[in-house]
Amino acid sequence: AQTVTQSQPEMSVQEAETVTLSCTYDTSESDYYLFWYKQPPSRQMILVIRQEAYKQQNATENRFSVNFQKAAKSFSLKISDSQLGDAAMYFCARIGVDSNYQLIWGAGTKLIIKP
């Protein structure tokens, strides 16, 4: 079954520290795309970072980076120097031919930033 699993319903981190959010997925395909989306209390869904499965290099966007382990089907998000504005729900998602190019979403992780 095509699934995306986020095993941490909630995480908390002290401001300025680093936190890692976990995501695993299931697919038999070799070509697909992975995404992390952020949903703050304003409820706007914001694309944080994307990874192409055929690229071995981990994607980075400023303080956000991923650890993509293709063989393990793992796609974790690392947030460095956490800021109060990072508090949000974070959703992991995958898209590929086996999903008919529809996004498959994880259930989300609520990130709490402690001042």
Partner 1 sequence: NAGVTQTPKFQVLKTGQSMTLQCAQDMNHNSMYWYRQDPGMGLRLIYYSASEGTTDKGEVPNGYNVSRLNKREFSLRLESAAPSQTSVYFCASSANYRGQSGYTFGSGTRLTVV
Instruction: Measure the CA dihedral 110/107/75/49, to 10°.
Output: -70
Please identify, among the stretches 18-26, 62-70, 77-85, 106-114, the one whose residues bind partner 1 according to the rule CB under 8 A. 106-114
* 42 forms part of the interface with partner 1 (CB under 8 A): yes
Nearer to partner 1, 17 or 101 (CB): 101
Separation between Cα atoms, residue 74 and residue 7, nearest integer Å: 12
DSSP state of 76: E
Residues 6+ apart with CB under 8 A from 32: 53, 94, 95, 96, 97, 98
* 109 forms part of the interface with partner 1 (CB under 8 A): no
* 59 forms part of the interface with partner 1 (CB under 8 A): no
* 21 forms part of the interface with partner 1 (CB under 8 A): no
Binding region for partner 1 (CB under 8 A): 33, 35, 42-47, 50, 52, 91, 95, 101-103, 105-108
